[in-house]
Each structure stands twice: as C-alpha cells, then as structure tokens.
Amino acid sequence: MTVRELIEELRLADQDATVRFASQPSWPFEYSIYGVVQTTIKDREDNKQEMVYLEEGRQVGYLPAEAKEELGW
C-alpha cells in the first residue's frame, strides 16, 4: 500500500475515529500507533525507496470480533 492509497482509504473514515493496528490473524490483537516516520531505504544494488513506517504503540487488547469479521480473519 502506498501513502496515497492509505490517504484515500482514510478519507472514507470518520475523521475523529481512533486509529489502531490489527496484528496476527491467528491470535488477533490490536495496538495503538505511537508514531509515523519516513525514511529512505537502500537495497543491495543501492536503489533507493521512500518508506513510511507506523510505529507500534502499546498492545490495547484482543481485536474486537467486529474488526476481525471486517478484515476477514
């Protein structure tokens, strides 16, 4: 997913909604997001790619059933 694609998805969401990260489909948890960083990554051939990382915050708890269902987990 690109930043542009993420922004397009987020435009459809309630702008005051809390953002969480869902992880581990077989044992689903939800996490807060602590931060966002952008950096340039180089591969073995010295090609550069811009990357954005969402920093995992704290584990909030188990992923709610409604979110699991929406994700298809």
Question: Does residue 10 sit within a domain?
Answer: no
**Within-domain flag for 53:** yes
What pLDDT score was predicted for residue 40? Answer: 97
Q: Domain for residue 11, yes or no?
A: no
Query: pLDDT tens, 27-72?
Result: 999 999 999 999 999 999 999 999 999 999 999 999 999 999 999 9
47 is a domain residue: yes
Spatial separation of the C-alpha atoms in residues 14 and 16, rounded to whole Å: 5
- Residue 23 counted as domain residue: yes
**According to the model, what pLDDT value does residue 11 have?**
95
**What local confidence, expressed as pLDDT, does residue 1 receive?**
94
What was the pLDDT predicted at 70? 95
In a domain, 6, yes or no: no
- CA torsion, points 36, 11, 72, 65, in degrees to nearest 10? 80
